[in-house]
Amino acid sequence: MRLPSLPRPRSLAGQLFAMQAVLIAVVVAGYALFTYVSDRRQAEDAAARQATAVARSIADSPAVRDAIRTPDPTALLEPYALKVTRDANVDFVTIMNPAGIRWTHPDRRQIGRRFLGTTAPARQGRTFTETYTGTLGPSVRAVTPVTDGGRIVGLVSAGITVDRISERLQDQVTALLGVAGGALLLGAVGTYVVNARLRRHTHNMNATELSRMHDYHQAALHAVREGLLMLDGRYRVALINDGGRELLGVGEDVVGRSVAGLGLPAPLTGALLSSHPRVDEVHLTASRVLVVNTSPVSGGEHRGTVVTLRDVTELQSLMGELDTERGFTQALRSQAHEAANRLHTVVSLIELGRAQEAVEFATAELELAQALTDQVVAAVSEPVLAALLLGKTSQANERGVELVVSSDSRLDDGLLPDELPARDLVTILGNLIDNAVDAARGSARARVTVTAYASAAELVLRVTDTGPGVDPGHADLVFQRGFSTKPAGPGGRGLGLALVRQAVTRHEGTLTVTGASPEGGAVFEVRLPLRPAPALAEGGAA
């Protein structure tokens, strides 16, 4: 049995439309009611003014005073009153004696009877108006005295019935209702158009769904470890999550600021300002290696950009160590191959009965290998750097480049502080040597010279080569990500020296390059400050 589905709550746009329609209807109805009441009051006031004017004009007429003096005032005043009633557009004109006995009336049967209404103020000489129910029904009437020689000789009352006033208001009310209906219709159409647009923007979701989507959005935004950055059409930060702030090294007040004003490296800023998508581009900040992806948000025009950031600093460092290990492996494989060749040579000499020559050959090879090891270890006894130099020496020899450690080198084991990890030293020295070997290949007497020594205040690493040198105009460009004077391979070039500068900057050191060394090539020199370990306080724990 299929259960009946509950009706879906009205969308936010629908709720707003209903609320606005009711609000407009209430406002229009209230305005119409207020206008009706106001117009009715104004109509009654106008009727009172009209009745007063008619009554005063009759009371001031000399013909009326002359007729009152006659023995039969009705004979003269009744036709006159009926004519004024028609001409002045009032419902009745009643002329009476000071006691209120009618001389005239639209209904001749009422002549001679007492006037129904208030007459006391008029008998005292004042003109007044009132709404009173007389023989013709409720009416707005004015009563004024007729004076002759300073004494009151009669009273005049002119009036307009309330029904007549209501008829006059009917046309105004009809027009008012038409205007109110038009305003309501126009407001409803405008509200529908606005809310139709709102429905498109809210995807016809109701308030509960929008609130739930906002909660999901906030939870997802802060849960994502990768950096997420959203830029508006003017390349200002519209949204950034916690991961993005951490990876870019920006503060909490970054929202609303232009990307160009965040102080990011120029290549990274250029990637964020680009209108074209970027896919898995590697960029360096002061302390991180980031993979950047950008995707423009378009809808007929550029509306913004979505940027994702992934931190591959540790991965890049591990890849560097992996490359070093691979180099060691290749060097060992090459040395094993050469050792096998030499062993075969020794065996062959023995088989030929030339044992003395076999001993001399084997001794010479052993002394050569031991001399290289002794030279490196004697100069640099720090184990990680010594292993790196031995491996790079074998790699350089395979590529036809001689790598030597200068006699000025002196780096004892245990001298380097814990704040200067071996991983960063491998990154710095390994990339400098690789760059120097690439530069020296093909040159006459291809050679790379490494100098490493430490003083009380700093560690100095210097690498020179016999290559073509560095153009002085490129002295700063060589350290930027992507710059290289060599053709790019499948993985691109220009990352090694950029990683060197990043590591040096992280340890507050200096990195310089000289265009030409005494051997004809470039000189790269790194100086890293050494912070001595804090001394134990006197009397403290040992």
**Domain span including residue 399:** 380-485+493-531
Domain membership of residue 349 (yes or no) is no
Residues 18 and 160 in one domain: yes
pLDDT per residue as tens, the chain (542 positions) = 454 554 555 655 566 667 777 777 787 777 777 777 777 777 778 888 888 898 899 888 888 888 888 888 888 888 988 998 888 888 888 899 988 888 998 888 888 888 888 888 888 888 998 888 887 888 888 999 998 888 888 999 998 887 777 776 677 777 777 777 787 788 778 777 877 777 777 777 766 777 787 777 777 777 677 888 888 888 888 888 888 887 888 877 888 888 888 888 888 888 888 878 888 787 877 667 788 888 887 665 667 888 888 877 666 666 666 666 666 676 667 666 666 777 777 778 787 777 777 777 767 665 555 555 665 665 676 777 777 777 787 778 777 888 888 877 887 766 677 777 777 788 888 888 888 888 888 777 888 888 888 877 888 888 888 887 776 655 555 555 544 445 443 334 456 777 788 788 888 888 888 766 666 788 888 898 887 644 433 333 33
- Indicate if 236 and 162 belong to the same structural domain: no
> What are the φ and ψ backbone dihedral angles of 480, each rounded to 5 degrees?
-90, 145
Q: Which of 149, 168, 187 is the last residue of a domain?
A: 168
Residue 284 shares a structural domain with residue 401: no
In this structure, the answer to whether residues 285 and 422 fall within a common structural domain is no
User: Is 473 a domain residue?
Assistant: yes
Q: Residue 480 domain-assigned?
A: yes
Helix (H, G, I), strand (E, B) or coil at 23: helix
| Strands annotated E in 121-252 | 128-134, 137-148, 151-161, 227-232, 237-240
164 plus 228 within the same structural domain: no
Domain assignment of residue 203, yes or no: no
**416 contacts: CB under 8 Å, gap ≥ 6:** 382, 422, 425, 454, 459, 530
155 and 231 part of one domain: no
Question: Are 519 and 396 part of one and the same domain?
Answer: yes
510 plus 444 within the same structural domain? yes
CA 5 to chain centre: 39
347 within some domain = no
Distant-in-sequence, close-in-space partners of 172: CB < 8 Å, separation ≥ 6: 39
Domain boundary among 268, 296, 311: 311
Q: Say which CATH number the domain at 109 has.
A: 3.30.450.20
The residues, ordered by sequence, that sit 6+ positions from 503 with a Cβ below 8 Å of its Cβ are 424, 427, 428
Structurally, how many domains does the chain consist of? Answer: 3
In a domain, 51, yes or no: yes
**Statement to judge: residues 396 and 467 lie in one domain:** yes
CATH number of the domain residue 419 falls in: 3.30.565.10
